[in-house]
Amino acid sequence: MTQRAYKFRFYPTEEQQQILAKTFGCVRYVYNWGLRLKTDAYYQTGKRLYYKDLSAQMTVLKRQPETVWLNEVSSVALQQALRHLDRAFINFFEGRGEYPQFHKKHGKQSVTFASSAFKWDGESITLAKMSEPLNIRWSRRFTGSPSSVTVSRDAADRYHISILVDEEIPQAPVCDSQVGIDLGLTDSVILSTGQKFGNPRYFRKDEKRLAKAQRRLAKKQKGSKNRDKERLKVARIHAKIADRRQDFLHKL
């Protein structure tokens, strides 16, 4: 058995957007809170705090009047945020990653739900605190039951769900033929068989729009609503270019 992740785009209702926005904020708060506690404890006393320590302290945190709003979202999602933080520190101390950074409000947001925090009926997924299943655009199907799902919202306000499934992957047949690939300017890809794939010139137009939008963004005052609007425009142009490139690669 092998774990495989399937990623799909979905379109939440207005109510689901509000629940996800609240969940993203709470998860980000708990992650940053845990990171601050671990950092201060290590530099001030030399003590290392682990997942079980932060989990116990989070129980107390959720009872405080100023942070009682943490109870409005799935507790499993908050626990998963602490697990991610614990894994980030393990990767750092074992030399596989940099020191964990505080999560920001802007940019990509994500939250992970364990199997106890969502329902899978074989055709749809309903997250904790939600009354309706997600409107997922299924581009392919999978076998088995999901062990966890990660919901994300990128800077262009697009929503995706990554579903982790335990599956048996059949071994691919051995192929004796080989094809050489060369990258060019007039043609993007040239195969050793002589087949050519053209260079999509529409990227240039989008890249000019991106450069113009980035210049406008740089002139906006930090913290202003106009800067947030311009940041969203830049993110959407980025997403459009990425989608077009992906479509082009799929056609190869």
* pLDDT reported for residue 176: 79
pTM for the complete prediction?
0.77
Mean pLDDT (the chain) is: 89
* pLDDT reported for residue 250: 61
* pLDDT reported for residue 168: 79
> Nearest to residue 27, comparing CAs of 74, 97, 88?
74
Q: Specify the residue for token string 């925090």.
A: 117
Helix (H, G, I), strand (E, B) or coil at 9: strand
**Low-confidence winner among 29-38, 66-75, 171-180 (lowest mean pLDDT):** 171-180
Cα Rg of the chain, angstroms: 22
CA distance 194 to 204: 26
- The model's pLDDT over 185-194, given as tens digits with 9 standing for 90+, comes to 677 778 888 8
Please say whether the beta carbons of 120 and 145 come within 8 A.
yes
Percent of the chain, pLDDT > 70? 94
Cβ neighbours of residue 13 under 8 Å, at least 6 residues apart? 132, 135
Distance of CA 67 to the CA centre of its chain: 25
Q: Phi and psi dihedrals of 86, rounded to 5?
A: -60, -40
| Burial of 22 from C-beta contacts in 10 A (0-12 / 13-18 / 19+) | middle
Please say whether the beta carbons of 136 and 211 come within 8 A.
no
Angle ∠(157,163,164) on CA atoms, nearest 5: 140
- The model's pLDDT over 57-108, given as tens digits with 9 standing for 90+, comes to 999 999 999 999 999 999 999 999 999 999 999 999 899 999 999 999 888 9
> Domain limits of the chain?
2-167, 181-251
Please say whether the beta carbons of 3 and 164 come within 8 A.
yes
> Nearest to residue 81, comparing CAs of 28, 22, 10, 148?
28
**DSSP characters over 11-44:** ---HHHHHHHHHHHHHHHHHHHHHHHHHHHHHHH
Residue 197's pLDDT band (boundaries 50, 70, 90)? confident
